[in-house]
Amino acid sequence: MGELSKDMEYSKESEKETLYVGDSFTPKSIFVVDKDLYKLKEDKKKDPFGLNVFAHELAQLNEEEGEYYIYLDMDGVVADFDKRFEELSGMLPQSYVDKNGLKAFWDLIDEKHKVAFWRGIELMPGAEQLVNYVEQHPFEMLTAPSIKKQSIIGKGLWIKDKVGTLYSSKPKVTYRSAKQKHTVKPNLTKFDILIDDKGSTIDNWNAAGGTAILYQNADQVINDLKKLGL
């Protein structure tokens, strides 16, 4: 789904002290040296075999040698939500909300058309090309549901319908609100790549330590993935 206004989104919710003063070696400087030596001895007592240091270095090494994992958004990236909504309402989503309000927007989707709304969404231009490229790496679909269960059912059926055409096999699907996508795992790293069309979601993902690509079109995303070495 394209970037909508905030109202459209459903929500439940010491430096080390100087050892020398000028060019002289003073009693104060001696005190600082003694204090640092004492700290080194205390650190040694707490970690006599250097295991904590080793664990930290190992974690850094693992991160440097990490494998990329891609989280692919659905609406507005591979599924043309805006086109489907316009076909059924005669208006683009934001225009409809501006005129009729947010409740009417979701009622048209989840109450009037229910599961059929989601299942009937067409592919975005270039979706096959994008998924074919993404599938060369570990990935899952990460999509935001609406407040009603109809969207989860409909999105699940949409993905199932596309196995053998869009997807070579059924992908893992994870549901998170747009505001919470960055919580899909406890700690994101630079190897966790999100492809999404919502700017605020991209910002949250980057702030949490991941790597986010703002979707504009399939070719642009593939080029951005190539720049990352994928």
pLDDT in tens, 50-87: 666 555 554 554 445 579 999 999 999 999 999 999 99
Q: In angstroms, rounded to a whole number, what is the distance separating the alpha carbons of residues 36 and 31?
A: 9
For the segment 40-46, the average pLDDT, to the nearest whole number, is 49
Q: What is the pLDDT of the chain when averaged over all its residues?
A: 82
Q: In angstroms, rounded to a whole number, what is the distance separating the alpha carbons of residues 130 and 226?
A: 12
For the chain, the domains span 27-64, 67-81+114-227
pLDDT at 179: 96
pLDDT band at 22; cut points 50, 70, 90:
very low
With a pLDDT cut of 90, the percent of the chain lying above it is 71
pLDDT at 1: 62
Q: Which fold would CATH assign to domain 67-81+114-227?
A: Rossmann fold (3.40.50)
- Runs of H (alpha helix) within the chain: 27-46, 51-64, 81-89, 93-100, 102-106, 114-119, 127-134, 149-161, 199-207, 218-227
With a pLDDT cut of 70, the percent of the chain lying above it is 71
pLDDT at 57: 56
pTM of the model: 0.73
For the segment 114-143, the average pLDDT, to the nearest whole number, is 98
Question: Residue 199: is its pLDDT beyond 90?
Answer: yes
pLDDT at 185: 95
pLDDT at 65: 56
Question: Residue 36: is its pLDDT beyond 60?
Answer: no
Helix 81-89 and helix 93-100: axis angle, to 10°? Answer: 50
Place of tokens 């430096």: 15
Q: In angstroms, rounded to a whole number, what is the distance separating the alpha carbons of residues 120 and 108?
A: 14
